Amino acid sequence: MVGGDSMKSTFNTQIPNTFSISVKAEEYVEYDSVADLQNLVPRLDGRRVLHIGGGSNLLFTRDFDGIVLHSRILGIEVMEADVRSVLVRVGAGMVWDDFVAEALRRGWYGAENLSLIPGEVGASAVQNIGAYGVEVKDLIERVECVDLQSGEVCVFDNATCRYAYRSSIFKQEWRGRYAVTHVQYRLSTTFVPHLDYGNIRAHLEGDTTAEAVREVIIRVRREKLPDPVVMGNAGSFFVNPVVPREQFEALRQTYPAMPFYEVDNGVKIPAGWLIEQSGWKGRALGPAAVHDRQALVLVNRGGATGEDVLRLSEAVCAAVQQKFGISIHPEVNVIG
Ligand code: EPU
């Protein structure tokens, strides 16, 4: 181990990941401040670099022959407050759900539908996490980063981040270029419930406080989504595909019960439904399986390698393609 109290570097180290894939990094570094990260930048030159959050959206198919970075920058700081809202600055290394819980305790609203999403604050801004009708892009005002090439601190406003469904510029053109150090969220001081997705309203039984919404969402997620501590997984393995309207109309003739959501560029169809209809829900391929309560989730039944999970995902994609003529793509980042 090298580094002082504020930075920890280890070699040939297991990389934390919720899929519970056994995989090592040549070097694994955790840092506690922007200054520490800036000091690390010269050491990254010419090496393969991967910045991880909670490891909850990654599938490693082999050991990582480079340096893996992880932020331990914590803390919530109030930057502005008025009667309507607060602007808070949160360290990228904070566990996302700890932030949601703390926000509710302090009477800040807007994030409650995103309760229990695994991962950390930094990744929330890269991935544009979303659930139950809310996406984190609706709360983000600015994202603070360090440029991993120059060491410079850069602050990007929401529009620059080019947020889209489970995507941002940090996942696209700028992939790997910046490390998020802090995220600035604007939260409301009055609670406005968003209950229209799924049957959240029905579960609430009339109690529409923010705390009740959080409790219901936690309960619904626990019922459907496997706990990674018990069975390795990375939440939704695939994104829900968007198909052109004409293709949707044609499919609907054959499958009138197909669920769908209208979106700007076509019609979104739940990949979980497509997978279930293709006969893969609950099915295993070696030590990897499609979860039996939510077909969008692939699980490690114990001892699976990344290649095992990838092989399963390819079989699932091929089945959906064959039955529906729709290509589905991973939401998780596959790291080879
Ligand atoms: N469905 C099936 N079979 C399944 C799974 C789903 O028929 O095995 C159908 C459901 O009946 C429902 C529809 O598909 O009609 C949608 O299902 P659900 O509400 O569970 O949502 P999802 O589209 O499967 C998305 C997100 C989840 C998020 C939920 C709730 C993506 C890729 N996934 O899943 O996010 O929690 O909506 O908002 O958009 C994650 O990103 O890791 C994640 C869990």
Kindly report, residue by residue over 226-244, the tens digit of the pLDDT. Answer: 999 999 999 999 999 999 9
> How many whole angstroms separate alpha carbon 331 and alpha carbon 44?
27
Question: Ligand 1 within 6 A of 113 CB?
Answer: no
Question: Ligand 1 within 6 A of 115 CB?
Answer: no
Please give the distance, rounded to the nearest whole angstrom, from the Cα atom of residue 264 to the centre of ligand 1: 19
User: Which of 58, 296, 320, when mutated, tests ligand 1's pocket best, judged by the most ligand atoms within 8 Å of its CB?
Assistant: 296
Q: Whose CA is nearest to atom 9 of ligand 1?
A: 273
User: Which of 219, 236, 323, 332, when mutated, tests ligand 1's pocket best, judged by the most ligand atoms within 8 Å of its CB?
Assistant: 236
Ligand 1, atom nearest to 198 Cα: 19
- In terms of C-beta density within 10 A (0-12 exposed, 13-18 middle, 19 or more buried), how is residue 318 classed? exposed
Matching CATH topology for 7-71 and 76-219?
no
Structure tokens at 90: 């949160």
Class of domain 226-335: alpha beta
Please give the distance, rounded to the nearest whole angstrom, from the Cα atom of residue 319 to the centre of ligand 1: 19
Question: Ligand 1 within 6 A of 270 CB?
Answer: yes
pLDDT at residue 92 in the model? 98
Q: Give catalytic residues, as residue numbers.
A: 166, 236, 331
> How many whole angstroms separate alpha carbon 304 and alpha carbon 233?
11
User: Which of 242, 269, 273, 290, when mutated, tests ligand 1's pocket best, judged by the most ligand atoms within 8 Å of its CB?
Assistant: 273
- The CB-side HSE value for 8 (13 A sphere, CA atoms) comes to 7
Ligand 1, atom nearest to 239 Cα: 32
Please give the distance, rounded to the nearest whole angstrom, from the Cα atom of residue 270 to the centre of ligand 1: 6
Question: Ligand 1 within 6 A of 70 CB?
Answer: no
Please give the distance, rounded to the nearest whole angstrom, from the Cα atom of residue 277 to the centre of ligand 1: 14
Please give the distance, rounded to the nearest whole angstrom, from the Cα atom of residue 268 to the centre of ligand 1: 11
Question: Ligand 1 within 6 A of 296 CB?
Answer: yes
pLDDT at residue 16 in the model? 97
Ligand 1, atom nearest to 238 Cα: 32
Output Rg (C-alpha) for the chain, integer angstroms. 20
Question: Ligand 1 within 6 A of 156 CB?
Answer: no
pLDDT at residue 214 in the model? 98
Please give the distance, rounded to the nearest whole angstrom, from the Cα atom of residue 246 to the centre of ligand 1: 23
7-71 maps to CATH 3.30.43.10: yes
Q: What are the domain boundaries of the chain?
A: 7-71, 76-219, 226-335
76-219 maps to CATH 3.30.70.1450: no
Ranges under pLDDT 50 in the chain: 1
